[in-house]
Each structure stands twice: as C-alpha cells, then as structure tokens.
Structure 1
Amino acid sequence: MIDSSYSMTLYDAIQLFQRHIIQNCGSESKTAQAYIRISNDLQRYAKETDLEVSPEDVIQEYYRIIVGVPAFEAVPSKSKERRGRAVQMILDILNGKEPKRKYTTHKRDCPITYLNVIRKYETFMRNDQKSDGTVRTRSGRITVFFAFLEECKCTSLEGITPELFARFVSSLNDRYSSQGKASILYTLRNFFSYDEFSGALSFDPIPFLTGIHSGKHERLPSFYTAEEVRRILNAVDRNTPWGKTVYLMMLLASVYGFRSSDIKAMVLDNINWKNRTINITQYKTHKEISLPMTDEILFCTP
C-alpha cells in the first residue's frame, strides 16, 4: 500500500513507481524498462521546469507533451497508451493512491448537430481506401473542431466565419503539444479538401491551414539521411542467423518503406523467385503491391 502519511515529492513518487513496476513486472521485462525510461524522462523534464510549478502541474504538462492531448484525455493512438498510463500511475502514487491496472480517459463525443457531417467524412475516407484505424483517428481529431463549434453556438458548417476559424486554430496552442496541434490541423485540412465540406463555407479555409509546424524537440525525426541509414545497417552483426534476420528486416524497411506490420506478416509465398518480385497486401491500407527484388535483398539470406 502506498504510504500517504507525508507530503511526497515528485522524485519520491517516481522512485516508488519504479520499485512498483519492477516488483510487478520484473526488472528485465520490456514493459518495466519502457516504464522506467518514461519515468526517468519525466524526472529530467521536472528538473528543467519552473520550481514554483506544482508536481501535479508538471505531470499534467508532461502528459500533454508526450501524448499530444490535454491531461487526461483519451490517447490518440495505441503507441501512446503506455506513456499515458505510466504518467497517470505516477500521479496516483504522488497522491497516496494505489496505481491502477487500467485507466479510463475522457473520450470526447461528437456533438449531435455534427453527427451527420462526421459520418459523411468517414464515408468519404473509406471510399478513398483509408484504413479503419485512419478513419477512427481522423474522426477523433475532427471531433475536437466540432466540439469547439458547439461551444461557440455554431451549429452548422455554413455558420463558420473566418474569425471563428482563426479562434479555433489559436485555441489549440494552450491545450495541445505542437505535434498534437499539427495532427488536428492536418486532419482539418484533409476534411476541407472535400468539396462537400469546403463548399459550405463563405471563405477559403486552406490559408489558415498552411505552414503547419510541429516542435522538432517533441518527436523523433521523420526521416534519416542515406548515410545515417547505412551506419545503422552496418552496426548489425551479420555473423549469426538472428543478426542476418534483423538485417533483412531493416533492409525491407529502409529499401521498400515497409511498415513493421507488413514485415511481421511476410511469408515465403510473398516472394516470386522467378520474376524476382515481392508481393504483399499492406496491413494498413489493404492494397496489393508488387515490388522488384533488389540484389541486396535477394542475396541477404538469413
């Protein structure tokens, strides 16, 4: 049981959190190591923060930065769920509570007045062969826009003015990380790329949605130079069967741009040795693609 008989500091809470994770998951488990990395990063962030800010505020701001939404709204993707859970566990420990196995986050519902609009948007995306995951993610992001409109008593797309649109864009600055804001604005730009929606406005919304920027220190680079890729590949030990397998997986990712889900699902039947092609159905888009097999891939036998 967490002892709340004294005023706990954030440092104390992080230390208790790490001990709790190691006790329940084992120090060598990938889960424990991931959670400990997150907690260490939170501690580093706290050291760089204004001393007058309360530990609770530090935790909430850190959640906003690493998850991309205000604390403690629903995470935008599965990949960020673990980060959000770790932060919420530390907050519970800070407040003298037992950390939970699962946390329920607030999911914003689309206002009733815009339900038909969001359903049309989802239909358009599916007609464009977008995956179910993409449809869900974009629907969640566009709901932020519709909720703002409802709060401003705007009940239709026709009622949106340039001033209201600009207010929405500005309102994201104080609520979302730069990456979270960029994701919402990219989705909004996609939404208004359909004439069905942009045609309802009395102005062109695209100028409000150009030059979208996300902070370079809040996420990993989205690309690597050719030299950086070569250095990463050359660091793999190819003297063992497992090393050769890892090297081949990295080649498939760097040469063809395959997603990890596509690489994981590959079997020998995906390879046409006679025509020297790799034929797969992409996991995310469900599209069938056929790509020529390069010599580097052909002769990299695990």
Structure 2
Amino acid sequence: MRYLGINFVCGFSSVGIFDSKLNHFEVKKFINPPEYLQVYKRSPNYWRFWKVRNLYRNNIEALLQQISYMDCDHVTLTDFFGSKASLSLVPYFEKKFQVKRLLCSDHKWGHINAVKFHSKFQYPALVADCSAQHSLIAYLPNPETINILYESDERAEGVFWGLGKVIIQGWVRGAQEGNDWSYGLYAQRGRMGKNVKDFSEEIERSQLPFCEDVLSKDLPQYMDAIKKQYTDLECFRNDWVATQHAALRAIFLKLKRQLSCQIEAKTYFIGGGISRNPAFSSLNEWLKVPDEVGGDDGSGCFMAYLGYHVNERGLKIKHDRWRGFVTGY
C-alpha cells in the first residue's frame, strides 16, 4: 500500500508518501512566505481568502510534482487549523483524486485516528492527545466508536489553549461544574532537560500567577495529591508543564477507575508539538505506552495523518527541506 498525505497549515504546506512494502516515508515541505501569514491573520475578505487558498493549492501542486503520487492507494487530506481557506480546497482535491479513497481530517481527529494504525494497538483503548493546539482524552471501545471524555476548547479569544486547559479544565469540570478556567496555562513556561527554564521576567510581564496559587484557588481538594508528584516545590510553582504532567496522571487514574468495572482499557499517548518535552517522555514511561504515536507538529503529526508512526522502528525517512529551514526533524 502507498499512502499519500496532503497537509495545509498556516506556516507551511507539505505532502508525503508512505510505502508500506518498502517501509519508507518521504515528505516534502514548503515554507509559506511571512507576508502570507500576515494576510492570513488580518480581517478576512474575499481577496485575502482567495490569495491564501491559491497559495495552498499552488504550493501543494508544486510539491506533488516532486513526488511519485499517481500510483497511491490512499489519500489523506488534512488541515491543521480547520480554516475556510484550506477547507475550500476539498472539492478541488476530491476531483483530482476522484478514483482514490480521500479521507479528510482535522488536527485532533487525525491524531485520534492515527493511534489505530499503531503496530501494537488493541481495542478497547484509552487515548490521550497531548498536542499543543488540540488536546483531548478519548475512549475507543471498538473500531467504529470514539467517545470524547475530555476536550480542550479549540479557541478562546483567538488564542489556542491546548494541553493545560484540557487537563486542568477537565478536572475542574468534574469538581466544580461550570467553572470557567481563565488562565493561559501554555504560556512561556516549560522544561529543558532536568532544569526548569528561567522565565521569571516573562512571567512577571505576563502577570500570570504561579501554578500553586491557581491550583490552590480552583482545585484545593487536589493540592496534596499534586504536591506528592514533586520533589522540588519551586519547580512546582514555576513549571506548568510538570504541573500538567502530574494532573494528567491523576486524570488517567480517575478514568481508569471509572472504566475498570466495564473494560480493561489499554492506554495510548499521542504526542504533539509538546511531546519532545522530557516531562512528557517520562509520562510515556509511566503510562507504559509501547511507543509514542506522533511527534512534533511538523513531521510527527503529518505522519499520523498518513496512518503511520514516523519513529516506527526500521522506518527509513527521506526529508527534503525546500525553500526554507524547518526545525523538529
């Protein structure tokens, strides 16, 4: 089987081919010029809509000329943001690949469906999608069903909330119905190896509160459990990523207890742009995940849309950086 994936995002467009016989994946990526990003972000009108839509189409057509796609068996068309400009291209590609099986998927559904292609995947499954943009926890009892248990709000005042919101807000919903989580948890906070990044100036400028202060106010009944996850209280106060790690562990334990009377779910963890963080690598080990599914939002998620794991053992990757430099490969 040869799988063709076509991906639109605001910053780049990409196409890729996975050949299951040769166990080989090839991706080509185009970096959109900065001026188009500015066009994309401004108030929409017909001219800007047309300009961005045609940019996507022309980029992808140029990329397809560099890759042998005519004999593909399966086509996956995906969209990172679900923008109208890129979704308007669906009829165009449906006509172009009319003899193929065209699967349309947005970012989060691409993630959830991707886990089904994992070599060790089994039903039923409890799946966590921890990408930076769309975050959710889902229960997959059978091939036909996906039950969303917790889901992040995709946009709030034009800002992506991502992982921190779904984890903490999902917790809050169970404890305090109707509580509105108003903090941007995925701010300038994170880890680099074992050392917490020094974001003290950014934190002061952003006027965001400490993790401990927020959790003490909104989740007092969970404070002791969260603190037990930390050996360094200062790390806990400043490190949102590690705090989210501890919260996710608690949510999974809660969900597994709730489901244990019905099923014995196997847990899968789907990484996104945040997955390279050591805090989540250790989370993978704790969840006893066979392999992380996904990767960074440039290569891993794109591969997930194709229905294969970019870091699968033995997979040969050929990557062509075209008109721009991309990190994360």
Calculate the TM-score normalised by the size of structure 1: 0.29
- Asked which structure has the greater CA Rg, the reply is 1
Calculate the TM-score normalised by the size of structure 2: 0.27
Higher strand share goes to which structure? Answer: 2
Higher helix share goes to which structure? Answer: 1
